[in-house]
């Protein structure tokens, strides 16, 4: 089955959805929609056969369209998705799924009631290096996961409607949710709105999981250089996943153990630094895998890897972190 899709929102990210859907065998890009006619004209020049409209209603009224893909600002995800679900269309919505957990729950419930696919665009769940690390965790090769430390920082782009927590946070919180298959039970955080009052552009988030794993997530739009670096430290091995490197995954056969003491009170740590392995990583584009999964979930009735419940968990995590920040900094600091 080919899924007929309309893309809504042609700003920074939407044209990527348009490009990939246009090339995907499983999808037919039927129409695009944006309130901005200049952005529409740009897409029309490149894809003359695709219908262009400024009216979302036009898209919803078109019975040939099976699904909409929303790449609009976060505050619009809930209203636009709800309207599409109500007229029987499947919905792919860019991360984060919604602007609050109450909104996310309403969307998930409606999609379930209508038997429609609702999929948040957590692109990193389709990233080959992320999946190499997932396999290492699942196979037990890393041992118990002691902690994960991640930095996602660069200069810009400051968003007008959300803080860095809602903009960059969904990437790391979705990866952590996917790798660990659990939600944090304790969070603490600190943030600062350095440039635009009320919109934090740097956040340091700590998370503790029921399994005992702890994580530290550093997010910033204000950094001298771009970092996309995650260290996963296990009881057997350690991994560095660096999305900016040409060796994105490096596995360190390193660790420390505490053997039973030979005599009472005599503890001696044993340090091990073994081989460093850099596995070959597939170069396939994550966005193509993600949108293919969306089409398959519609045609085969299966839950996509980036499922709505996972998207709801990510929104809830961000909300809990934000509530912590409100307590720590006061509501005025966060707008
Ligand atoms: N998966 C990723 O890696 C990734 C990367 C960047 C952005 N995103 C997500 O994509 C979404 C959009 O981000 P962006 O940076 O492209 O935003 P943007 O502001 O650049 O673009 C949004 C577009 O939506 C249009 N729009 C707004 N309301 C509309 C409506 N009611 N009907 C039709 N068009 C409407 C605007 O005119 C604008 O062109 C966000 O949810 C963001 O988090 C995802």
Smallest Cα–Cα separation from 242: which of 123, 130, 126, 146? 130
Q: Per-residue pLDDT tens for 219-259?
A: 999 999 999 999 999 999 999 999 999 999 999 999 999 88
In whole angstroms, what is the distance from residue 332 CA to residue 198 CA? 7
- What is the value of pTM for the model shown? 0.97
Question: Exposed, middle or buried by CB within 10 Å (0-12, 13-18, 19+), for 114?
Answer: middle
Q: Select from 56, 72, 94, 127 the residue to mutate for testing ligand 1; criterion: most ligand atoms less than 8 Å from CB.
A: 72
Q: How far is the CA of 236 from the centre of ligand 1 (A)?
A: 42
Judge contact between 32 and 65, C-beta under 8 A.
Answer: no
Whether the CB of 55 sits within 6 Å of ligand 1: no
State the Cα–Cα distance between residues 117 and 120, nearest whole angstrom.
10
Please give the average per-residue pLDDT across 106-121, as a whole number. Answer: 98
Cα distances (Å, whole numbers) of residue 72 to 81, 105, 286 = 11, 19, 20
pLDDT at 188: 97
Quick check: CB of 73 below 6 Å from ligand 1? yes
Q: Is the pLDDT of residue 95 over 80?
A: yes
Q: Is the CB of 43 under 6 A from ligand 1?
A: no
Identify the residue whose tokens are 């040409």: 246
Spatial separation of the C-alpha atoms in residues 201 and 130, rounded to whole Å: 25
Packing angle, helices 14-23 and 37-46, rounded to 10: 20
User: Ligand 1 center to residue 81 CA distance, Å?
Assistant: 14
Pocket perturbation via mutation, ligand 1, pick of 94, 173, 288 by most ligand atoms within 8 A of CB: 94
How many CA atoms lie within 13 Å of 194's alpha carbon, on the beta-carbon side? 13
The mean pLDDT of 16-24, rounded to a whole number, is 98
Q: How far is the CA of 67 from the centre of ligand 1 (A)?
A: 17
Is ligand 1 within 6 A of the CB of residue 290? no
Q: What is the Cα–Cα distance from 117 to 97, expressed in whole angstroms?
A: 13
Ligand 1 centroid to Cα of residue 12, in Å, is 7
- Is 11 close to ligand 1, i.e. is its CB under 6 Å away? yes
Strands (E) located in 122-226: 145-153, 186-192, 202-208, 214-220
Distance CA 176, CA 299 (A): 28
Distance CA 145, CA 148 (A): 8
State whether the beta carbon of 39 lies less than 6 angstroms from ligand 1: yes
Instruction: Give yes or no for residue 35 CB within 6 A of ligand 1.
Output: yes
What is the edge-to-edge ordering of all strands in the sheet holding 214-220?
Answer: 186-192, 202-208, 214-220, 145-153, 227-234, 238-242, 249-257, 270-277
Would the CA dihedral through 60, 64, 69, 71 be positive or negative? negative
Q: Residue 235's closest CA among 326, 146, 102?
A: 146
The tally of CA atoms less than 13 A away on the side-chain side of residue 113 is 10
Q: Is the CB of 285 under 6 A from ligand 1?
A: no
Nearest-10 Cα torsion for 168, 18, 51, 294: -80
Phi, psi of 14 (to 5 degrees): -50, -45
DSSP string, 92-123: EEESSS-SSHHHHHHHHHHHHHHT--EEEE-G
CA distance 326 to 335: 10
The pLDDT, as a whole number, for residue 174 is 98
Tell whether ligand 1 has an atom less than 6 A from the beta carbon of residue 111. no
For ligand 1, whether the C-beta of 95 sits within 6 Å is: yes
Q: Report which protein residue has its CA nearest ligand 1's atom 39.
A: 11
Q: What band does 328 get if pLDDT is binned at 50, 70 and 90?
A: confident
How confident is the model over 178-202, as a mean pLDDT? 96
What pLDDT, in 10s, does the model give residues 270-323?
999 999 999 999 999 999 999 999 999 999 999 999 999 999 999 999 999 999
Which of 34-48, 55-69, 209-223, 264-278 is the least confident region? 264-278
Instruction: Determine the atom of ligand 1 nearest the C-alpha atom of 123.
Output: 1
Q: Specify the pLDDT at position 264.
A: 72
How, if at all, do strands 3-8 and 67-70 pair? parallel
């Amino acid at each position: 089955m080919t899924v007929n899709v309309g893309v809504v929102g042609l700003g920074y990210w939407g044209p990527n959805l348009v490009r990939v859907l246009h090339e995907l065998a499983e999808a037919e890009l039927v129409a695009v929609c944006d309130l901005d006619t200049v952005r529409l004209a740009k897409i029309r020049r490149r894809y003359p056969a695709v219908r262009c409209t400024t009216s979302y209603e036009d898209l919803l009224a078109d019975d040939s369209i099976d699904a909409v893909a929303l790449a609009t600002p976060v505050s619009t995800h809930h209203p636009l998705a709800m309207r599409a679900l109500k007229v029987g269309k499947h919905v792919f919505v860019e991360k984060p799924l919604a602007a609050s957990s109450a909104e996310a729950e309403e969307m998930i419930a409606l999609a379930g009631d209508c038997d429609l696919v609702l999929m948040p665009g957590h692109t990193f769940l389709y990233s080959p290096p992320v999946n190499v690390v997932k396999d290492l965790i699942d196979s037990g090769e890393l041992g118990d996961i002691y902690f994960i430390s991640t930095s996602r920082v660069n200069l810009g782009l400051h968003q007008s409607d959300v803080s860095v927590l809602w903009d960059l946070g969904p990437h790391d919180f979705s990866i952590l949710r996917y790798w660990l298959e659990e939600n944090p039970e304790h969070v603490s955080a600190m943030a600062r709105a350095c440039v635009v009052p009320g919109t934090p552009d740097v956040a340091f988030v700590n998370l503790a999981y029921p399994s005992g794993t702890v994580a530290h997530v550093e997010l910033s739009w204000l950094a001298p250089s771009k970092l996309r670096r995650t260290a996963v430290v296990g009881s057997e091995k350690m991994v560095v996943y660096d999305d900016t490197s040409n060796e994105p995954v490096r596995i360190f056969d390193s660790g420390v153990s505490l053997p039973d003491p030979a005599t009472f009170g005599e503890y001696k740590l044993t340090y091990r630094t073994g081989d460093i392995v850099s596995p070959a990583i597939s170069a396939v584009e994550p966005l193509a895998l993600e949108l293919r999964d969306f089409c398959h979930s519609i045609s085969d009735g299966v839950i996509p890897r980036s499922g709505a419940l996972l998207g709801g968990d990510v929104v809830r995590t961000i909300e809990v972190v934000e509530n912590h920040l409100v307590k720590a900094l006061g509501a005025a600091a966060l707008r």
